[in-house]
Structure 1
Amino acid sequence: MAAQNTQHQLRHAAAWSNNVNHYTLALDIEAYERDQSKLTEIGWTIDNVNAPQISHHFVVQENVHLRNGRYVPDNKFGFNFGRTDTLPLYEILRRLREDICSRPLLAMVGHGIAHDIRYLQSVGFSFSPGTKFFDTNNLYREFSASMQSKHKLQTILVQLGIPHSGLHNAGNDAYYTMEAFLVMCARGY
């Protein structure tokens, strides 16, 4: 039953990504490895078939001093697709909300997106009841007919033939999550 649901999601994702009226926002959040309640970076990429992609990367000002590197690589200042802005968390969330609200037909994409949603909810951010969510991990499981329940983003990128660098930067991860989503949508159905 789960595979059937995921297969339906891949078809739905493909239809969504090819509709000129629909937008897709890929989101990634990095947290401090020693205290997951402290968000350190937020990045997102917005895609529409008729417009150039837009990518954003923000470092949370309140936690700029917190560095990963013991358990997770620290690539906080290695954004490949534009500039990194260091802003207070409330301002980053305001900008995210603005990007979401200015695109009424929008779906959210993430790799393990449930974690990102929980991070945002923990700081008071909420989504509209009708918001659509796609998880690239689940989509890849159906796309590749894999029995594994989890796949690293890097593994998916390699398997899909997507060149990548600078993972564990929220902006880069959001960009590459979007690329994986679009490739699976194009090749899957």
Structure 2
Amino acid sequence: MPPKEYLQLHTVLYEWSKECPMDLKKDLSLFFNSQAFLDRKDTFFRGLHDRKWVALITKAGVDETRATLGDLFNYHFLDLYVTPLSLSQISAAPRMPSGAAYNKFIKDLTRDNKVIKAQARVVNWKRNLDRATDMVVNAPGVLQDASTSSSSGSGVSQPRWFISVDVESFERDHSKILEIGWSIWDSGSNLFVDKHYAVSDYRHLKNGRFVPDRRDRFMFGTTIWEPLEKCISAFQQDLDTATAQNMKGEYVLIAHDLASDETYLQKMGVQFPKNMVPFDTIELNCARIGDSNAKVGLGKLLDSLDIENYCLHNAGKVIFVLDIWLIVFSPLVALANG
């Protein structure tokens, strides 16, 4: 017996529904949800195609259905040809005696595909975690004693700079930026720069209904109030200074929910070094746990790592984000140091 040939079921239903005359569409839809169409042995299958589960119908089933439709509707539907599918797994679909059973079959495929996507995300994030680990452990200066700086004969010429940044916006209009905070760690000298800028243009705007307003609670220095343009310029100047001091080195951008902060910074026109490598601590934590659904807010993550924290709705929380980065990898650094 020759091997079965398959077509994707949704393609068959789509093509025939598209060509069907308007006066027959309702009846065709009813037929596709009927037991006569769905409850047929050795006709419907599920297959893994390009790492995604799809509903399949055999070519014999397509030909049989086309003949039935011709008799029922006195209309000759398009003869569909098999396009080769790369199927790594194939299994029979469950019995589908009704439209409800078919809907459950499709819902189960959707659920299984979500699981596959989640697993793929974890695999990708674990690669990022491995890369992040390598970048910390092998950063010039990290494997030396913390009290030894690059200026004291260590021989380190191109350290890595680790930059964490956070942007806080007005809860009722996220286009209005209220704060920018950043923390920069030079691995070669083991020195940190922590800054917090509050935007004077919007001093009159207060959060509080949905998130607390903590602009006046920077715990690691003095908050500087400036117009937005000067706040952006101050951050850009620190980036440019880092670039000038480390022309051939690498830069690591770290944030908790990186996409959100990147969007703000791009709109502000901030220019990052071309060799900047971005990491999201949400994703790295999921990789560490091995669960793509383990996304947690900054507070819960800090608590789980026993990092004491305060005033997380202040943009100065980037210091805590950098702490996460260092604490997650500190056992690895300690191990590498022997």
Scaled by the length of structure 1, what TM-score is found?
0.92
Per-residue deviation, residues 15-51 of structure 1 (Å, max 9, x unmatched):
2234121010110110000000000000001112332
C-alpha distance in structure 2 between counterparts of 1:46 and 1:126, whole Å = 16
Taking a change above 3 Å as real, the CA distance of residues 118 and 132 of structure 1, as seen in their structure-2 partners, is same
For residue 102 of structure 1, report the CA deviation from its aligned partner: 2.1
Considering fraction of residues, name the structure with more strand.
1
> Tell me, which stretches of 5 or more residues in structure 2 are unaligned?
1-119, 141-158, 244-249, 334-338
For residue 187 of structure 1, report the CA deviation from its aligned partner: 4.1
Percent identity, aligned pairs only? 29
The match for 2:124 is 5
Check if 1:67 corresponds to 2:206.
yes
Taking a change above 3 Å as real, the CA distance of residues 187 and 155 of structure 1, as seen in their structure-2 partners, is farther
Check if 1:43 corresponds to 2:181.
yes
Per-residue deviation, residues 106-131 of structure 1 (Å, max 9, x unmatched):
21110001101111122222434432
- Assess if the C-alpha contact under 8 Å between 2:236 and 2:271 holds in 1: no
Taking a change above 3 Å as real, the CA distance of residues 156 and 188 of structure 1, as seen in their structure-2 partners, is farther
The match for 1:25 is 163
- Assess if the C-alpha contact under 8 Å between 1:24 and 1:46 holds in 2: yes
Mapping of residues 1-189 of structure 1, within 5 Å: 1-18=120-137, 19-20=139-140, 21-49=159-187, 50-104=189-243, 105-148=250-293, 150-171=295-316, 173-187=317-331
Per-residue deviation, residues 4-23 of structure 1 (Å, max 9, x unmatched):
22112112212223412101
C-alpha distance in structure 2 between counterparts of 1:28 and 1:12, whole Å = 22
SS in 1 for 2:242: coil
Bigger CA radius of gyration: 2
Scaled by the length of structure 2, what TM-score is found?
0.53
Q: Which moved more, 1:110-119 or 1:4-13?
A: 4-13
C-alpha distance in structure 2 between counterparts of 1:156 and 1:146, whole Å = 14
For residue 140 of structure 1, report the CA deviation from its aligned partner: 0.6
Per-residue deviation, residues 55-88 of structure 1 (Å, max 9, x unmatched):
1000011111111010001111100000000011
Taking a change above 3 Å as real, the CA distance of residues 128 and 46 of structure 1, as seen in their structure-2 partners, is closer
Higher relative contact order (CA closer than 8 Å, sequence separation 6+) = 1
Structure 1 outlier segments of 4+, above 6 Å:
none
Taking a change above 3 Å as real, the CA distance of residues 29 and 59 of structure 1, as seen in their structure-2 partners, is same
C-alpha distance in structure 2 between counterparts of 1:14 and 1:63, whole Å = 39
